[in-house]
Amino acid sequence: MARIPIKYNLRYLAVRWTSTLTTALTFGLVVGVFVMVMSMVNGIEKALTTSGDPLNVLVMRKGVQAEGQSVVNIPQYETIRNFAGIARDARGTSLVGPEIVVLVNKPRVKTGALSNIQVRGVGAISYEVRPLVKIVEGRRPRTGLREIIVAKSLAGRFQGLAIGEHVRLGKGDWLVVGHFEAGRSAFNSEIWADYRELMQEFDRGEYNTVVARATGPAAVAQIKYQAENDPRIRLRGLTEEEYYNQQTASAGPIKALGLFLAVIMSIGACFAGMNTMYASVSSRVREIGTLRILGFTPQAILASFLIESIALSIIGGAIGCAAGGLIVNMLGRLPTGTMNIETFSEVVFYFTVTPTLLLRGMAFALIMGVVGGVLPAINASKQPILEALRQT
């Protein structure tokens, strides 16, 4: 069976470039919106999933979803300290330490709207087990002093977090002594302070969690087992990786919004695409008749028009991916934030476009092309030859 050359379709699209462009643009806008919204979902998930180190085990109370809800008391910590499987650093110090987290409500830079920031009370061990956290300006807080370091991306988004400024946390003012970076992880949305000082500030007599560095994957299971089964503590151990992965639910509402938008918009775009294709069929009735006389089968005509619709959608998808990608690339340099549902605090993220996302956008466009093109293509293939030729 002879196929109609694709060149025929492409030439037609080029000749009718205005309607080609408007239809492609309609598809492109749908794909563009899809790509942009989903790049937010990607960004949030990335901020949370890249945080976790698979060898860092967090020991916390059973049944809690966030560190802030957990309670680990001092006797429990003493037990955990002597667990088997905990790594040691070069000086022989056991890599295990308590942490606390509190929320502070601070105003954003532009709007002044208040949002929660997570403050983490840390010890020297916390820095050792999280090499991702690097001081880029200033220095670490000194033990025994009311000093804090702030994630650099947070300092740009909230008022009064520059180095040298005083910030009110609980009862008193704390001095900002440094800014840190932590890749694109969730620590990028935090303020760090000495845990003993922070416990005093917030009248805490207990820790929230204990972080322990395992010597290897087998030791991870060992630490988890001890946390759950040691009769003195009855806590739960989970790796940082597992902890942050369970928080990606925060991206859920945005994901739902993105899918809802994409589905409704693409239905609208399919109708528009159908319109264009019907118009192009009806303006080519004579050509179709000629093709049939030349010996092309109705199936070949159907395939040809379907290919034309798909070509249109590919152009649209490419426009959408390019535009969406470009805008995201510009936005992506700047951090943006939303609320982490689990911890009830700000999570800073970057719009992130991945090749998979662009492929999904193109797949979306293809579906629109097929759905929008199939009826007009059937219509074209069923044109009666004689009447077609008689038409002027």
Partner 1 sequence: MVRLILKNLLRNKKRTALTVLSFGFSLFLLVALATFLNALINPPESDASILRLAVRRSTSLAEQMPLAYAERLKRIPHVADVMPLQWFGGYYQEPRNMLATLALDPKQFLEFFPEIETTPADKAAFVSERRGALVGPTIMNQFGWHVGQMITIKGNIFPVDLEIKIVGTYHNVEEENAIYINWDYLHETLGKPGKIGAFWVKADAKENVPGIAAAIDATFRNSPAETKTETERAFRLGFVSMLGNVKLIIGSIACVVVFTMLLVVTSTMAMTIRERMREVAILKTVGYRRIHILLMIVGEGLAIALMGWVLGYLFCVGLGHMDTNRMTQGFVPKFNPPAMIYALTMAVGLMIGLISGLIPGLQASALTISEAMRKLE
Which listed residue (338, 352, 381, 383) binds partner 1 by CB under 8 A? Answer: 338
Q: Give the integer Cα–Cα distance in Å for 31 and 362.
A: 7
Contact status: 329 vs partner 1 (CB under 8 A): no
The stretch near partner 1 (CB under 8 A) out of 31-39, 46-54, 224-232, 359-367 is: 31-39
The answer to whether 168 and 97 have CB atoms below 8 angstroms apart is no
Interface characters, 207-246, with partner 1 (x: CB under 8 A): ----------------------------------------
- Assess 205 for contact with partner 1 (CB under 8 A): no
- Residues numbered 1 to 20 that lie near partner 1 (CB under 8 A) are 18-19
> What is the distance in angstroms between the CA of the first residue and the CA of the last residue of the chain?
29
Among 8, 10, 12, 29, binds partner 1 (CB under 8 A): 29
In the numeric block, which tokens belong to residue 335? 């951090």
Q: Is 297 in the site for partner 1 (CB under 8 A)?
A: no
Position 199 contacts partner 1 (CB under 8 A): no
Q: Which is nearer to partner 1, 88 or 260 (CB)?
A: 260
SS3 380: helix
Residue 351: φ, ψ to 5°: -55, 130
Contact call for residue 111 and partner 1 (CB under 8 A) = yes
- By CB under 8 A, the count of residues binding partner 1 is 58
**What binding mask, one character per residue, do residues 121-160 give for partner 1 by CB under 8 A, x or -?**
----------------------------------------
Cβ neighbours of residue 80 closer than 8 Å, sequence gap 6 or more: 59, 72, 96, 210, 212, 226, 227, 233, 235
Q: Alpha-carbon distance 351 to 336, whole Å?
A: 8
Q: At closest approach, how far in Å is the CB of 123 from partner 1? A: 22
Residues 59-78 that bind partner 1 (CB under 8 A): 61, 63-66, 68-69, 71
Q: How would DSSP label each residue in 143-192?
A: TTS-EEEEEHHHHTTBTT-STT-EEE-SSSEEEEEEEEEBTBSGGGGEEE
Nearer to partner 1, 66 or 122 (CB): 66
Query: Residue 248 is encoded by which pair of tokens?
Result: 């990606």
Site for partner 1 in 90-109 (CB under 8 A): 102-105, 108
Q: Is 67 or 213 the residue whose CB approaches partner 1 more closely?
A: 67
Query: How far, CA to CA in Å, does 55 sit from each of 68, 144, 156, 210?
Result: 21, 29, 31, 14
* C-alpha atoms less than 13 angstroms from C-alpha of 359 in its C-beta half-sphere: 3
Q: In sequence order, what are the residues at sequence separation of 6 or more whose Cβ sits closer than 8 angstroms to the Cβ of residue 311?
A: 6, 9, 10, 13, 369
Q: Which residues bind partner 1 (CB under 8 A)?
A: 18-19, 22-23, 25-26, 29-30, 32-33, 37, 40, 61, 63-66, 68-69, 71, 102-105, 108, 111, 113-116, 169-171, 202-203, 253, 260-261, 264-265, 267-272, 274-276, 278-279, 283, 336-339, 344, 346
